[in-house]
Amino acid sequence: MKILLAVDGSPFTQKMLAYLTTHPELFGPHNQFTVFTAVAALPPRARAAVSHEVAHGYYEEEAAKVDGPVLAYLAGHGIRPEVMHQVGPAGELIARAASEGGFDLVLMGSHGHGALANLVLGSVATQVLARCQVPVLLVR
C-alpha cells in the first residue's frame, strides 16, 4: 500500500507515528511510505525583501526541522520513507499530493477539536477530509 504520512512536528504527529509503528500488521515496512510536510509561506512583504535562494533555504530549513525527528523515529522502526514538502496551505497541499501521487491512504494526526471548534477555528484535518479523494485515517 502507498501511504502518505502528513506531518507537522506536533504532539499529534507523534501520536500518529506511535500508532503507525505499533500496528505493523497494517503499517509494516512492506508498505511504501512518503513523509509530507506543508511549510507555511513567508508573508508577501518578507518574501519580496529576500532573494529566491534565501526563501528556498528558509523553506528547506523549516521542513527539515519537522522531517528530521520523524525520519529518525521511523528509521528506528525499520521504515525508510520518501520525503517531500511543499509551500502553502497545508490542507489543500496534503489533499492534492495524495490525489496526484496515487496514494492509497493518508495518515495524519488530529487535534480532535469538536465540530463547533472546527467551525470557528478550522482545522487542517477538516480541510483534508473535505478535499481529499483518497481515504484518510486520523489519529487522535
Q: Residues 7, 13: contact at Cβ < 8 Å? A: yes
Quote the pLDDT of residue 117: 46
Give the domains, in start order, of the chain with CATH numbers.
Answer: 2-139 (3.40.50.620)
Nearest C-alpha neighbor of 84 from the set 113, 103, 64, 110 = 64
Identity of residue 87? V
Torsion angle of C-alpha atoms 135, 136, 137, 140, degrees rounded to 10:
-160
Calpha distance 109→140 (Å, rounded): 6
pLDDT tens, per residue, the chain with 140 residues: 999 999 999 999 999 999 999 999 999 888 999 999 999 999 999 999 999 999 999 999 999 999 999 999 999 999 999 999 999 999 999 999 999 999 999 999 987 555 544 444 358 988 999 999 999 999 98
